[in-house]
Amino acid sequence: MEPNYLSFDFSHFQKMTAEEITEVEHRVNRMIRKNSSIEEHRSLPMSKAVEMGAMALFGEKYGDAVRVIKFGDTIELCGGTHVQATGQIGIFRLFRESSIAAGIRRIEAFTGEVAERYIDENMDRMKQIAATFEKSKDLVSAVKGMADENSKLSSQVDKFQKNMLGVIAKNLEESVERIGDASLVASKIDVANAGQLKDLAFQCRSRYPRACLVLGAEVDGKAHLAIMLAEGIIKNYELNASHMIREVSKEIQGGGGGQPFFATAGGKNPAGIESAIQKARQLIVDAAEEFHG
Q: Summarize pLDDT for 63-94 with one digit per residue, the tens.
A: 788 888 888 888 888 867 788 999 999 999 99
More reliable by pLDDT, 44 or 8: 44
Please say if the pLDDT value at position 179 is more than 60: yes
- The closest of 244, 253, 239 to 215, measured between CA atoms, is 244
More reliable by pLDDT, 60 or 272: 272
Q: In a 3-state reduction of DSSP, which class is residue 228?
A: strand
Contact 197, 217 (CB under 8 A): yes
Assign 272 a pLDDT band (cuts: 50, 70, 90).
very high
- Percentage of the residues of the chain whose pLDDT score is greater than 70: 94
Please say if the pLDDT value at position 17 is more than 70: yes
Assign 42 a pLDDT band (cuts: 50, 70, 90).
confident
Q: What is the largest CA-CA distance in the chain?
A: 97
Pairing of strands 254-258, 92-101: unpaired
Question: Where does residue 60 rank: exposed (0-12), middle (13-18), buried (19+ CB within 10 A)?
Answer: exposed
pLDDT at 13: 66
Cα 216 to the center of its chain, rounded Å:
27
pLDDT at 183: 87
Tell me the mean pLDDT in the region 36-46: 89
pLDDT at 226: 95
Sign of CA dihedral 268, 271, 275, 281: positive
Contact 102, 119 (CB under 8 A): no
d(CA 133, CA 154): 21
Domains along the sequence of the chain with CATH: 5-132 (3.30.980.10), 171-292 (3.10.310.40)
pLDDT at 215: 94
Please say if the pLDDT value at position 253 is more than 80: yes
Contact 65, 37 (CB under 8 A): no
Burial 127-146, CB ≥16 within 10 A → b, else e: eeeeeebeeeeeeeebeeee
Percent helix, strand and coil across the chain, each rounded to 5?
A: 50, 30, 25
